[in-house]
Amino acid sequence: MAVDVRRIPSTLLAGLLLAATAPARAANLSTLDPAGPSAAAIRELLMLVTAIAAVIFLAVVSTLIYCIVHFRERSAAPEAEPPQIYGSTPIETAWTVGPILIVFVLTLVIIRTVVEARQVDPQPGAMNVRVIGHQWWWEYQYPDQGVVTANEMHIPVSRPNLARPIRLRLESADVIHSFWVPRLAGKTDLIPGHPNEMGFEAAEEGVFQGQCAEYCGRQHANMMIRIVVETPAQFEEWIQAQHRPAVAAAEKLSGSGLFVAETCANCHTIRGTPAAGTVGPDLTHLASRQTIAAAEIPNDRKNLSAWLNNPDVLKPGCRMPDLKLSQNDIASLVSYLETLR
Ligand code: CUA
C-alpha cells in the first residue's frame, strides 16, 4: 500500500486533535480537514509552523545526542582538563540572527494568514448574518432576508463560478463567547458591547459542527454550533419556509393556547401568534431544526418531552425554568411544537 509521506504529519496531528476532542461525540472538529478558504489558510500556516518547529527540534536533538556520545567521559579519571573556550563571535551571531529571521518570516506569514482567514475587508456581495451568543445557545439573524433562527445556521455553498461569501457580525447578550467552526473558519470572540466581524465561505455542502470556544459558564461545553451548507436553491427554499408564519392549522391545537397560558410566550417567539418573547430561542420553525438545546440532542418527541419535563436535567444550570407541567400539558405542547415546520 502506498503511503503519501506528505500526509503523515497531518494524519498524526489529526489523530491527536481527534483524541483530544472526540470523547463526547463523533463530530468532525478538525482544523486539518478544511472545507473553505479561511480554514485552508489556517491549515497551511499550521503546517508551515509545524515543519519549521520540526526542523529546529531535529537539529537540537541530533546536536545534543552527538555531543552526549562524542564528548562523553571515556575513562574514570581524565588525565587533563579539556581546552577551555570563552565566547565565539560567529556562533553567537548565528544563534541571534537565525531565530530573529525565523520569527520575522513567521510574523509576516501569520499577519497575512489572519487577514486572509478572517476576510477583514468585506467580500463584495457577502450575505450578512448577525450572530448573538446567549448562555447557552446561538441566535442567528438574517437582516437582508428578515429571518431569525437559533442554533442551526443555514448558508449557501460557495462555488468557484458562484462565490457566496458570508459576513458574520458577532455580538453577545451576556458574557464572552467564541464562535468556532474549525472546518470552515478560525474562531472569533463575541464580546458584550463590542461587535466583531468575520467573513468566510463554505466550499462543500453538508453539516459543519462547531463549538463555543470561550468558557462562558456551566453549559459552555454544550454550546454547540451547526452550520448547514446547502445549494443556493435549497437555501432559497429554506429562507422562503422561514418567512412563513407558524402553521395556521396548529392554532387549533390545545398546545397553542398552553404555550401562551403557561408563560412559554414570555421568553419565546412564534411568529403569527401572540408569543413574542425574545429571551429564549425563536421557535417559529422549531420543527425544521434537527437538534434542540444548542445541538445537544436530536429534535424528536422523546427529547422535547424530556426537555419540557425539566430542562435542568438535560442541561444543568440552563436558563429555561422547570415549569412543573403536567404530563398531559407536555404531550399537548410537544404535539404543537412538532407542527412548527
Ligand atoms: Cu458560550 Cu462558551
Render pLDDT for 290-305 as a digit per residue (tens, 0 to 9). Answer: 888 887 888 888 888 8
Q: What is the Cβ-side half-sphere exposure of residue 94, based on CA atoms within 13 angstroms?
A: 5
Q: Please identify, among 226, 242, 258, the residue that sits at the C-terminal boundary of a domain.
A: 242
The closest-lying atom of ligand 1 relative to the alpha carbon of residue 213 is 2
CA of 193 to the centre of ligand 1 (A): 16
Tell me, what's the pLDDT at 22? 44
Spell out the SS3 assignment of 186-205.
Answer: CCEEEECCECEEEEECCCCC
What would the pLDDT profile of 177-193 be if each residue is shown by its tens digit?
999 999 999 999 999 99
pLDDT higher than 80, residue 109: yes
- Rounded to an integer, the average pLDDT of 252-281 is 81
- Rounded to an integer, the average pLDDT of 194-205 is 93
What would the pLDDT profile of 54-95 be if each residue is shown by its tens digit?
999 999 999 999 999 998 877 766 677 778 888 899 999 999
- Rounded to an integer, the average pLDDT of 115-139 is 88
The closest-lying atom of ligand 1 relative to the alpha carbon of residue 221 is 2
The closest-lying atom of ligand 1 relative to the alpha carbon of residue 223 is 1
DSSP 3-state of 233 = helix
Q: Please identify, among 223, 242, 261, the residue that sits at the C-terminal boundary of a domain.
A: 242
Q: Does a structural domain hold residue 223? A: yes
Range of the domain at 160: 28-70+88-242
Contact 259, 273 (CB under 8 A): yes
Q: Does a structural domain hold residue 218? A: yes
CA of 298 to the centre of ligand 1 (A): 20
Tell me, what's the pLDDT at 16? 53
CA of 210 to the centre of ligand 1 (A): 11
Q: Are strands 206-211 and 137-142 parallel, antiparallel or unpaired?
A: unpaired
Kindly report the number of other CB atoms within 10 A of residue 98's CB atom.
11
- Shared-domain flag, residues 164 and 272: no
Q: Does a structural domain hold residue 16? A: no
- Shared-domain flag, residues 49 and 139: yes
What residues contact 49, with CB distance under 8 A and at least 6 apart?
A: 106
Closest alpha carbon to 285 in 334, 329, 338: 338
Number of domain units in the chain: 2
- Shared-domain flag, residues 164 and 212: yes
CA of 142 to the centre of ligand 1 (A): 22
The closest-lying atom of ligand 1 relative to the alpha carbon of residue 217 is 2
The amino acid sitting at 129 is V
- Shared-domain flag, residues 63 and 156: yes
What residues contact 144, with CB distance under 8 A and at least 6 apart?
A: 127, 128
pLDDT tier at 10 (50, 70, 90 boundaries)?
A: low
- Shared-domain flag, residues 190 and 111: yes
- Shared-domain flag, residues 66 and 181: yes
CA of 215 to the centre of ligand 1 (A): 5
Tell me, what's the pLDDT at 7? 57
- Shared-domain flag, residues 43 and 160: yes
Nearest residue by C-alpha to atom 1 in ligand 1: 177
- Rounded to an integer, the average pLDDT of 3-17 is 53
Q: What percent of the chain has pLDDT over 70?
A: 90
- Domain CATH code at residue 132: 2.60.40.420
Tell me, what's the pLDDT at 2? 47
Q: How far apart are CA 132 and CA 191, in angstroms?
A: 10
- Shared-domain flag, residues 229 and 294: no
Q: Please identify, among 220, 242, 264, the residue that sits at the C-terminal boundary of a domain.
A: 242
pLDDT higher than 50, residue 23: no
- Shared-domain flag, residues 219 and 294: no
Question: Which H or E run includes 112?
Answer: helix 89-118
- Rounded to an integer, the average pLDDT of 208-218 is 94
Q: What residues are in contact with ligand 1 under a 6 Å CB criterion?
A: 133, 136, 177, 212, 214-216, 220, 223
- Shared-domain flag, residues 101 and 193: yes
